[in-house]
A and B are shown apart, each in its own frame.
Chain A
């Protein structure tokens, strides 16, 4: 990418494709697009385009191929790993104007949507037919289905139902040379697809394989009964034991979430749900299914929690209370603003049985770096989300916060886990790839990348060691203690 076209020429030619109102190139307009929800690194793209159709996306991508300019696909920009950061400039293709639910197909339990469609809109439209779209990331009222494909998003309810790759049947993708391919199940087609599973291979590819434009998802039947418990424990250890106990009883709850004391206190202050302020840990256990079976399992869950010294097992009394509880849980990150001016949301995974170990380790990290680290996480999946609180006005805190995160992720690898369960590698976790994988493992991933994007023009400088960094970040990292 040596002889870059000048910006004016690029902008003009983009406008010829999508129209003037769909190209942003002014410095002030680009500020919004200089980072996603991971704010430690920032860099504006050269231009942003807001296409309205697959054809426009393909034409933009072809132009970028001709001019050898990087493309960065973007949904709502809720990524927590810098996945949509324009590290070295380039044309950001924002799918936010392609946001329609095209078809709800109740007979086949499918929905066809545009990539910029917001996750929660699918269930909103499908619920009239008694159906829902299962993956429910906490950002589901903002994040787009295209972005969900990029990061293979999860959410609190993935324990029983699985993640994005289990629910996206097929999709249309514009490759970096501008060709349009449909991968996986076609909208009116059968679910068996011949050939290599390119659909599955590109889910979770963090926008590095192409631009997803239209998506076919699987819908599930809404269970007739839910029972949602709030279980209060004196310590995280006891709550973790209860998690193991529930699984050992042969029960797979729809969700199994844990929040520690700092989180419940912050949530209580923000939303006044009625969380106990003195509890060491709170579990949210949700069972769903048919009435009789849910009843039977609910008894068992209550027993297991009591056996593990739960001081209270409270059942959400109606749908309104259940909804309120989940609203609180999903807004937990937001409530942290009350505790600290800044925080880093970490995302790591350990085998479920190692939860007590990692939680104890996080406490020692918190002591070591003198930073508060509240925890709210998907206990059933072993997917932890320590929130490392810091104040960016104090440079030493920034450094300690980064280091604390690194220590925790290293420990996740040591315990047989992963450095990311749902947020992705993006720009943030590149350094961990060589720790979690061998050179051969990484080379094989690069082989797959070559299949889709031989020129590495799509969302470059992500995921793999040796990638270019933003200048500003380099400075931040060098802040002396």
Chain B
């Protein structure tokens, strides 16, 4: 069943009474609790959409450095529960790197807080990391605190068509060992279009000018958007993950299949990818048994 509480306390009442919860809609729990620009931190309820959150932060020239597809519909809760991300992952990391505190309703109705709202904090065990990517199978994230970054003064996204995977590999090696510091490093072959390498830069304007110049020298030309990611992932939501050094051999094995690859991360979205199987570790099972002994939250 889907539950749609009006408040956090109602969620605390509903969860323990439920046999099986497939989905929790937190539309009603969607306030910005606090944004302190001087601290570069913000605390927000899980029901707010990512784009709404970003537009609030942008008023003070800051942002949460993650860029998953469809930020208008992705909520903060989903962002965390599914560990969503996009092309800027290479330069910015994932949401796991930015969350500093969390409030969670456990299946038995307890409301727990972990971490806090300061950027450095090692008091107690780190449950935040555990709940990120746990798909709300251990508890429902209702609020989270993040550290933020200033919005980049300038950005540039450049593309270079490649004749072959071999050529792409050579270019990637060049970039990898150069002084370039790309925020985005994608390789894609989508919609029947040629193989394309994308390098994106973000930071102080003087840097972006210099880096764009250096990228131009490698044959990169200007492009304006990273829209291909969201578009492609609608048809290919799953990925294959390999060490970055094995990227090209992995892509060769795909034959003619379309793909969008985070070349710097070794993450390849392609239609035939299957959701990754959870290892059958005792520990994995024990986590679920201990946090949700009655199996209220659907796996």
Q: Answer whether residue A203 sits at the interface, using C-beta atoms and an 8 A cutoff.
A: yes
Cα distance A198–B290 when bound, in Å?
A: 14
Say yes or no: B243 contacts A201, CB within 8 Å. no
Bitwise interface map of A from 437 to 475 toward B, beta carbon under 8 Å scored 1, else 0: 110111111011111100000000001000000000000
Closest beta carbon of chain A to B210's beta carbon, Å: 5
Closest 6 CB pairs of A and B: A200-B129, A190-B241, A293-B207, A250-B150, A192-B241, A293-B204
Decide: A382 near B120, CB < 8 A? Known: A247-B40, A293-B203, A445-B127. yes
Decide: A200 near B132, CB < 8 A? Known: A154-B120, A293-B203, A433-B123. yes
Cα distance A251–B207 when bound, in Å?
A: 14
In this complex, how many residues of chain B approach chain A with their Cβ under 8 Å: the count is 77
Q: Which residue of A lies closest to B38 (CB)?
A: A353
Say yes or no: A382 contacts B123, CB within 8 Å. no
Q: Apart from A198-B283, A293-B204, what 19 extra A-B contacts exist at CB < 8 Å?
A: A189-B241, A190-B241, A190-B243, A191-B243, A194-B278, A195-B279, A198-B284, A198-B287, A199-B129, A200-B132, A201-B125, A201-B129, A250-B151, A293-B203, A436-B123, A442-B124, A444-B104, A448-B130, A452-B283
Cα distance A168–B157 when bound, in Å?
A: 30
Q: Answer whether residue B226 sits at the interface, using C-beta atoms and an 8 A cutoff.
A: no
Closest beta carbon of chain A to B285's beta carbon, Å: 10
Say yes or no: B117 contacts A351, CB within 8 Å. yes
Decide: A197 near B206, CB < 8 A? Known: A382-B119, A440-B111, A449-B125. no
Cα distance A382–B244 when bound, in Å?
A: 35
Say yes or no: A451 contacts B287, CB within 8 Å. yes
Q: Which chain A residues in 289-308 approach chain B with CB under 8 Å?
A: 289-293, 295-297
Q: Which residue of A lies closest to B138 (CB)?
A: A196
Picked from B38, B96, B117, B267, the residue with its CB within 8 Å of the CB of A200 is: B96
Q: Answer whether residue B97 sits at the interface, using C-beta atoms and an 8 A cutoff.
A: yes
Measured between beta carbons, the chain A residues less than 8 angstroms from B203 are 289-290, 293
Closest beta carbon of chain A to B295's beta carbon, Å: 15
Cα distance A444–B281 when bound, in Å?
A: 21
Q: Answer whether residue B113 sits at the interface, using C-beta atoms and an 8 A cutoff.
A: yes
Say yes or no: B106 contacts A444, CB within 8 Å. yes
Q: Answer whether residue A113 sits at the interface, using C-beta atoms and an 8 A cutoff.
A: no
Decide: A422 near B122, CB < 8 A? Known: A252-B150, A292-B210, A440-B112. yes
Say yes or no: A296 contacts B205, CB within 8 Å. yes
Measured between beta carbons, the chain A residues less than 8 angstroms from B275 are 194
Say yes or no: B134 contacts A451, CB within 8 Å. no
Cα distance A179–B268 when bound, in Å?
A: 33
Say yes or no: A196 contacts B118, CB within 8 Å. no
Measured between beta carbons, the chain A residues less than 8 angstroms from B113 are 437-438, 441
Measured between beta carbons, the chain B residues less than 8 angstroms from A463 are 124
Q: Which residue of B lies closest to A416 (CB)?
A: B117
Q: Answer whether residue B116 sits at the interface, using C-beta atoms and an 8 A cutoff.
A: yes
Measured between beta carbons, the chain B residues less than 8 angstroms from A188 are 243, 246
Measured between beta carbons, the chain A residues less than 8 angstroms from B40 are 247, 252, 352
Measured between beta carbons, the chain B residues less than 8 angstroms from A221 are 181
Question: 10 A-B residue contacts at CB 8 Å?
Answer: A162-B93, A162-B97, A199-B129, A200-B96, A223-B181, A250-B61, A292-B210, A425-B122, A443-B112, A463-B124
Q: Which residue of A lies closest to B181 (CB)?
A: A290
Q: Which chain A residues in 398-429 approach chain B with CB under 8 Å?
A: 416-425, 429
Q: Answer whether residue A43 sits at the interface, using C-beta atoms and an 8 A cutoff.
A: no
Say yes or no: B36 contacts A353, CB within 8 Å. yes
Say yes or no: A248 contacts B37, CB within 8 Å. yes
Closest beta carbon of chain A to B259's beta carbon, Å: 15
Say yes or no: B118 contacts A420, CB within 8 Å. no
Closest beta carbon of chain A to B290's beta carbon, Å: 5
Measured between beta carbons, the chain B residues less than 8 angstroms from A419 are 123
Picked from B96, B116, B129, B278, the residue with its CB within 8 Å of the CB of A417 is: B116
Closest beta carbon of chain A to B140's beta carbon, Å: 13
Closest beta carbon of chain A to B136's beta carbon, Å: 12
Decide: A191 near B124, CB < 8 A? Known: A290-B207, A292-B206. no
Closest beta carbon of chain A to B127's beta carbon, Å: 6
Cα distance A293–B129 when bound, in Å?
A: 33
Picked from B38, B133, B276, the residue with its CB within 8 Å of the CB of A197 is: B133
Picked from B124, B129, B207, the residue with its CB within 8 Å of the CB of A292 is: B207
Cα distance A289–B153 when bound, in Å?
A: 15
Cα distance A349–B147 when bound, in Å?
A: 14
Say yes or no: A205 contacts B125, CB within 8 Å. yes
Q: Which residue of A lies closest to B137 (CB)?
A: A196
Say yes or no: A196 contacts B287, CB within 8 Å. yes
Q: Answer whether residue A16 sits at the interface, using C-beta atoms and an 8 A cutoff.
A: no
Cα distance A105–B176 when bound, in Å?
A: 13
Measured between beta carbons, the chain A residues less than 8 angstroms from B36 are 351, 353
Measured between beta carbons, the chain A residues less than 8 angstroms from B130 are 196-198, 200-201, 448
Cα distance A297–B111 when bound, in Å?
A: 43
Closest beta carbon of chain B to A254's beta carbon, Å: 13
Bitwise interface map of B from 171 to 185 toward A, beta carbon under 8 Å scored 1, else 0: 000001101010000
Cα distance A107–B176 when bound, in Å?
A: 8
Q: Answer whether residue B258 sits at the interface, using C-beta atoms and an 8 A cutoff.
A: no
Q: Answer whether residue A329 sits at the interface, using C-beta atoms and an 8 A cutoff.
A: no
Closest beta carbon of chain A to B193's beta carbon, Å: 26
Q: Which chain A residues in 237-263 approach chain B with CB under 8 Å?
A: 244, 247-248, 250-252
Measured between beta carbons, the chain A residues less than 8 angstroms from B204 are 289, 292-293, 296-297
Q: Which chain A residues in 348-385 approach chain B with CB under 8 Å?
A: 349-353, 378, 381-383
Say yes or no: B124 contacts A433, CB within 8 Å. yes
Picked from A293, A352, A383, the residue with its CB within 8 Å of the CB of B206 is: A293
Q: Answer whether residue A214 sits at the interface, using C-beta atoms and an 8 A cutoff.
A: no
Closest beta carbon of chain A to B183's beta carbon, Å: 12
Cα distance A295–B207 when bound, in Å?
A: 9
Say yes or no: A418 contacts B116, CB within 8 Å. yes
Q: Answer whether residue A228 sits at the interface, using C-beta atoms and an 8 A cutoff.
A: no
Measured between beta carbons, the chain B residues less than 8 angstroms from A248 are 37-38
Picked from A194, A224, A378, A382, the residue with its CB within 8 Å of the CB of B276 is: A194
Q: Answer whether residue B252 sits at the interface, using C-beta atoms and an 8 A cutoff.
A: no
Decide: A352 near B39, CB < 8 A? Known: A188-B243, A423-B122. yes
Say yes or no: A418 contacts B206, CB within 8 Å. no
Q: Answer whether residue A165 sits at the interface, using C-beta atoms and an 8 A cutoff.
A: yes
Q: Answer whether residue B242 sits at the interface, using C-beta atoms and an 8 A cutoff.
A: yes
Say yes or no: B114 contacts A444, CB within 8 Å. yes
Q: Answer whether residue A39 sits at the interface, using C-beta atoms and an 8 A cutoff.
A: no
Measured between beta carbons, the chain A residues less than 8 angstroms from B104 are 444
Say yes or no: B110 contacts A444, CB within 8 Å. yes
